[in-house]
Amino acid sequence: MQVTLKILRFDPAKHEKPTWQTYQVEAEPTDRVLDLLHKVKWDQDGTLAFRRSCGHGICGSDAMLINGKNRLACKTLVKDLGSVITVEPIRGLPVERDLIVDMEPFFAAYRAVKPYLINEEPPPARERLQSPEERERFDHGTKCILCASCTTSCPVFWVNGTYLGPAAIVQAHRFIFDSRDRGKRERFKALGSGSGVWRCRTAYNCTEACPREIPVTQLIEEVKRAILFDRF
């Protein structure tokens, strides 16, 4: 089938602002959007720039706005989109070139929540024990691939660039609810601040955008409750 691919292009050396460019591509219904981007880059226009690595949804490189929704280009098939497909960079992070955005603000928020196990007790000779139920408690957050789909779909993040955003809160959740961790109070400083969880307006965009089916909004609510109950 013929697919019309409209891509929002931006080259700081050439353009004042992003401009749409249209390509006609021959595609199979089972092709990934990533395949179409490669067809454009390899056969029609070598100047198209985008990120990708693994090509099957586990590295998180190729999050982009496809037909108006945040998705991974490698996990989105043509048959689910139709014959006109629009592709834009994810929103709320500075665009550096075509579909490539500056990820540093996103990773700065990640670092701010101390996304690592905090436990200064001397470890035992063998593993720390943890029941399957304790392990299950934080399973959702361990699926996160840091693709930024959730954070860059969040209206609060678009408006207020200092908001930590859903992905960072999911990372914090992953440790707050890990029975081995002792660092939740340290994380609450950033999470309870003006840039933290209280900015969340429960719009559910993050949950809809997550390509790993993490119930992001639910995890944010759980972090809010953990902070509240910690105060009393």
Q: Which residues bind another protein (CB under 8 A)?
A: 11-14, 30, 41-43, 45-47, 49-50, 52-61, 75, 77, 96-98, 100, 103, 107, 110-111, 114-117, 119, 123, 126-132, 134-135, 138-139, 142-143, 145-146, 175, 178, 180-181
β-pair partners for 6: 22, 86
Q: Quick one: DSSP state of residue 223?
A: H
CA distances from 17 to 9, 21, 93, 158, 216 (A): 9, 13, 15, 18, 33
CB of 226 to another protein, least distance (A): 18
CA torsion, points 176, 179, 185, 191, in degrees to nearest 10? Answer: 0
CB of 60 to another protein, least distance (A): 6
Nearer to another protein, 88 or 98 (CB): 98
For residue 22, the surrounding DSSP H or E stretch is strand 19-26
CB of 41 to another protein, least distance (A): 7
177 Cβ contact partners less than 8 Å away, ≥ 6 residues apart? 137, 138, 141, 222, 226
Nearer to another protein, 149 or 156 (CB): 149
CB of 52 to another protein, least distance (A): 6
CB of 160 to another protein, least distance (A): 24
How many Å apart are CA 26 and CA 28, to the nearest integer? 7
Nearer to another protein, 46 or 68 (CB): 46
CB of 158 to another protein, least distance (A): 22
Tokens of 115: 């996304």
Nearer to another protein, 12 or 194 (CB): 12
Instruction: Compute CA 104 distance to the chain's CA centroid, rounded to the nearest angstrom.
Output: 13
Nearer to another protein, 35 or 208 (CB): 35
Exposure string for 210-219, b = 16+ CB within 10 A, e = fewer: bbbebebbeb
Side chain identity, residue 172: A
Nearer to another protein, 137 or 199 (CB): 137
Side chain identity, residue 178: D
CB of 55 to another protein, least distance (A): 6
Nearer to another protein, 179 or 202 (CB): 179
